Copies of this chain bind each other. A is one copy, B any other.
Amino acid sequence: MAVHETFVKNNAEYVATFGDKGTLPLKPGKKLAIVTCMDARINVYAELGTHEGDAHIIRNAGGSAKDALRSIIISQRLLGTREIAVFHHTDCGMITFTTPQLRKIVKDSDPNDEKLKVVDDIDFLEFGELEQSVKEDVKFLKENPLVLSETVVTGWVYEVGTGKVRRIV
């Protein structure tokens, strides 16, 4: 059974206790954008004590700030956020491969399929060392001309083994 077949039933429980959340405004109440990894073990709300209405949550493979730039510009310029917290995490898949390796995996999956060669245009944004990757992402945001200069930017590590967060920069 595909997982999506459980969505409507599970959603009914959420709807039953939805309360007054339907009146929350479009703009994040805490003027915060969180950038973190898509990793299945990360429960952003529980981990940081955030709730519906508080913050934009941007998630991608690795929690890449570069990949998040389009979203961050929209978040700041149209929806008023002024703080960004970047979280990378221990045991991240992004440290286990390189872009050339993944391009090869994709192309080798069907060597006769010429269309797979478009994967050569993708930078998978892997990284080598966890804390350094956080520092680099914070630096990217602080120096990027499209990110508002008054933005408070912090960088963190989330430990999947303990649930703890640790500030890096």
A: residues with CB less than 8 A from B are 2-4, 6-11, 13-15, 18, 21-22, 24, 26-33, 38-43, 45-61, 67-71, 73-75, 77-79, 83, 85, 91, 93-94, 96-97, 102, 105-106, 109, 113, 115-116, 118-119, 122-125, 145-146, 152, 154, 156, 160-165, 167
A105 to B156 Cα, complex, angstroms: 31
A91 to B24 Cα, complex, angstroms: 11
A38 to B74 Cα, complex, angstroms: 10
A109 to B93 Cα, complex, angstroms: 38
Closest Cβ–Cβ distance, residue A101 to chain B (whole Å)? 9
Pairs of residues from A and B, 7 with the lowest C-beta to C-beta distance, nearest first = A10-B49, A18-B163, A115-B145, A28-B40, A61-B71, A38-B56, A22-B161
Closest Cβ–Cβ distance, residue A46 to chain B (whole Å)? 5
